[in-house]
């Protein structure tokens, strides 16, 4: 009896046969790539910044995202897709398919404790033991482009031109202003670092980030479609385009024409929005019926706010919605350009967010407030404009993540479960995939779409880390229900928040102030809001998953966090080390020593006075 083969698109079936007949190499042989390049698809990766699970219309949002919704109709929505809880670790895994502790980005530069800095796995930038998908695609005949936020290292060997990209315009760090190219969003670096094709870029003074990145990407793609003989030959090559938006990273900013569409939309507050989004997500088939959800302990009671406070908070969310819609609008411009050039039908689109919504409030830190008050306006009638600074805070972030628990920086589903849409010709349409998938699955998927093999432990004669994800091709083209076996253990750690996934189960521990520092067990298929702890009813699963997590941590060099670690606080400690001390040198050191001494004396006096109290 002949074994039944899974249904594959023609170009993948051709590649499968060819690859079986040819000898094995570290990457696919060049002649195979040449033979199949006419049918290999263009691949566009659209990475949003700090979007929550339900921030897309096709995932339950009231925000207008018609272009992303159209892609969802043409492909698959992944309702159980996981990333890391902050920017650069996710980006590092997207580009390499390697666990962030093994690729060098065990933590962000901005949030890493000083005790971890420079330790193996904790460079905060890509190490030299990984190869990017851009390098692999370029080697097999792809044109490769990137525009947007980079955040995986701005050392010369880590810039895009040395990481496989033919053309690039990138902002090198964690973020910047969306209206002014030279304006920092916090005092975390000495300047905004822009690079074009491996050199410091000369930027115009003003732009709007989402518009600019799409403009540059359209230009890169079209510049290879001119009438010169060289361009004609190059235009026959497929392309890989990576657009990494700053939307909706703080400061939340957008053109008034988008913001004002949402005037009055959020007057009922974040709790009402959180409930409404959950109900829409259920109605769309993304979540189980009657999915329960918790009320976040960091979320204030909307009704306890004064009318003026409610109006101010509502305006913040209007700006956030406007920023998201503006990004979608510019995604639409890229899609239109590809349709006009005849390249759309042979293009695969992937859209995702790098982590959940941002709940942090920089104004809560005195040093940040002083700096922000000097550089930004926060008046209600200016929010979203050039020179104005807005955030959404924990209330709206909990709504953006609805119905999930926690948000950016934390290992609850709200911090690491985000929307993923993959669409393209030949795929099943308007499908929802509900089993667990992971950011490490994206690189293998892209390589398989491009008929390009994974590196087999070495690249150009040098040892490299092995990709550990699973290709999503069986889901996209054959409707497979699961790509990860039910007994596979997939570990996670970032900033001391930890998790292990096994089938539908999730073991998770979040540090204070959001978590309690203890392990919990959930069935995230039936209970994505993480409301019912199963450790008592499933003690063997609970224990075995803790053992599996300990093995993951050991295998990947995960370091324990210092006592009292909190990511928002660490950001400003690192700013002192990286910015203030180098800037002011001896006065800053003396000030820091004075502050440390003062804290020590206060604690010592308190301890002595407590010792004097008799029991």
CA distance 389 to 387: 7
- For 237-275, b/e burial (b = at least 16 CB within 10 A) is bbbbbbbbbbbbbbbbbbbeebbeebeeebeebbbebbe
Angle, to 10 degrees, between the axis of helix 366-375 and the axis of helix 567-575? 70
CA distance 199 to 213: 17
Place of tokens 């760090």: 173
Task: Note the helical H segments in 284-407.
Answer: 307-340, 366-375, 393-400
Collapsing DSSP to helix, strand or coil, 437 comes out as strand
- Alpha-carbon Rg for the chain in angstroms: 24
Active-site residue set: 87, 151
Q: What is the DSSP string of 367-403?
A: HHHHHHHHH-B--TTTTTSTTB----HHHHHHHHTTT
Both tokens of 599, joined, read 């804290």
Both tokens of 409, joined, read 């920086």
CA distance 612 to 316: 50
CA distance 316 to 236: 46
CA distance 330 to 98: 30
Collapsing DSSP to helix, strand or coil, 419 comes out as coil
Place of tokens 């962030």: 100
Question: Is-contact 184 246, C-beta < 8 A?
Answer: no
Strand ranges across the sheet with 347-353: 199-200, 194-196, 167-171, 143-149, 239-244, 42-48, 347-353, 420-423, 75-78, 431-433
CA distance 496 to 237: 44
Distance between first and last Cα of the chain: 83
Place of tokens 């159209």: 70
Q: Around Cβ 140, how many Cβ atoms within 10 Å?
A: 23
CA distance 109 to 88: 9
């Amino acid at each position: 009896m002949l074994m039944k083969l899974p249904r594959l698109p023609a170009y993948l079936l051709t590649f499968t046969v060819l690859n079986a007949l040819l000898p094995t190499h570290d990457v696919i042989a060049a002649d195979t790539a040449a033979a199949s390049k006419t049918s290999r698809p263009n691949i566009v990766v659209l990475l949003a910044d700090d979007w929550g699970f339900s921030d897309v219309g096709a995932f339950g949002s009231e925000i207008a995202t018609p272009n992303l919704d159209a892609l969802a109709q043409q492909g698959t929505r992944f309702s159980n897709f996981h990333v890391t809880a902050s920017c650069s670790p996710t980006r590092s895994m997207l580009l390499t398919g390697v666990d962030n502790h093994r690729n060098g980005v065990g933590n962000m530069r901005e949030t890493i404790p000083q005790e971890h800095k420079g330790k193996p796995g904790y460079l905060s930038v890509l190490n030299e033991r990984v190869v990017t998908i851009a390098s692999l695609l370029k080697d097999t005949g792809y044109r490769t482009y990137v525009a947007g936020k980079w955040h995986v290292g701005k050392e010369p060997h880590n810039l895009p031109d040395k990481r496989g990209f033919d053309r690039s315009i990138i902002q090198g760090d964690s973020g910047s202003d969306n209206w002014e190219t030279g304006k920092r969003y916090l005092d975390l670096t000495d300047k905004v670092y822009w690079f074009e094709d491996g050199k410091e870029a000369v930027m115009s003074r003003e732009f709007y980030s989402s518009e600019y990145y799409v403009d540059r990407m359209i230009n890169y793609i079209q510049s290879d479609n001119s009438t010169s003989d060289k361009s004609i030959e190059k235009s026959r090559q497929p392309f890989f385009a990576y657009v990494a938006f700053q939307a909706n990273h703080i400061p939340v900013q957008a053109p008034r024409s988008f913001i004002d569409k949402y005037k009055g939309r959020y007057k009922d507050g974040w709790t009402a929005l959180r409930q409404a989004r959950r109900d829409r997500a259920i109605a769309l088939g993304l979540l189980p019926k009657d999915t329960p959800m918790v009320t976040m302990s960091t979320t204030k009671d909307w009704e306890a706010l004064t009318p003026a406070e409610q109006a101010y908070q509502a305006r913040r969310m209007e700006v956030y919605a406007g920023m998201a819609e503006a990004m979608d609008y510019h995604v639409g411009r890229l899609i239109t350009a590809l349709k006009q050039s005849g390249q759309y039908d042979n293009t695969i689109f992937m859209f995702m967010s790098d982590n959940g919504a941002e709940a942090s409030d920089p104004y809560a830190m005195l040093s940040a407030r002083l700096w922000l008050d000097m550089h930004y306006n926060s008046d209600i009638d200016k929010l979203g404009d050039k020179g104005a600074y807005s955030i959404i805070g924990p209330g709206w972030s909990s709504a953006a993540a609805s119905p999930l628990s926690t948000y950016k920086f934390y290992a609850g589903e709200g911090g690491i479960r985000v929307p993923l849409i993959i669409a393209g010709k030949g795929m099943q349409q308007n499908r929802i995939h509900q089993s667990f998938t992971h950011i490490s699955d994206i690189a293998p998927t892209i390589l398989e779409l491009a008929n390009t093999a994974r590196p087999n432990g070495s690249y150009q004669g040098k040892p490299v880390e092995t990709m550990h994800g699973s290709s999503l091709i069986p889901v996209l083209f054959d409707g497979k229900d699961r790509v990860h076996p039910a007994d596979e253990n997939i570990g996670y750690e970032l900033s001391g928040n930890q998790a292990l996934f096994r089938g539908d189960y999730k073991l998770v521990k979040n540090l204070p102030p959001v978590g309690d520092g203890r392990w919990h067990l959930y069935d995230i298929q039936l209970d994505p809001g993480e409301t019912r702890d199963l450790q008592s009813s499933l003690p063997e699963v609970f224990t075995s998953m803790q053992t599996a997590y300990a093995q993951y941590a050991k295998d990947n060099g995960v370091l324990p966090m210092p006592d009292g670690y909190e990511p928002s606080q660490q950001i400003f400690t690192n700013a002192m080390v990286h910015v203030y001390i180098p800037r002011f040198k001896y006065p800053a050191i003396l000030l820091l020593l004075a502050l440390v001494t003062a804290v020590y004396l206060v604690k010592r006096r308190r301890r002595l006075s407590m010792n004097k109290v008799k029991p």
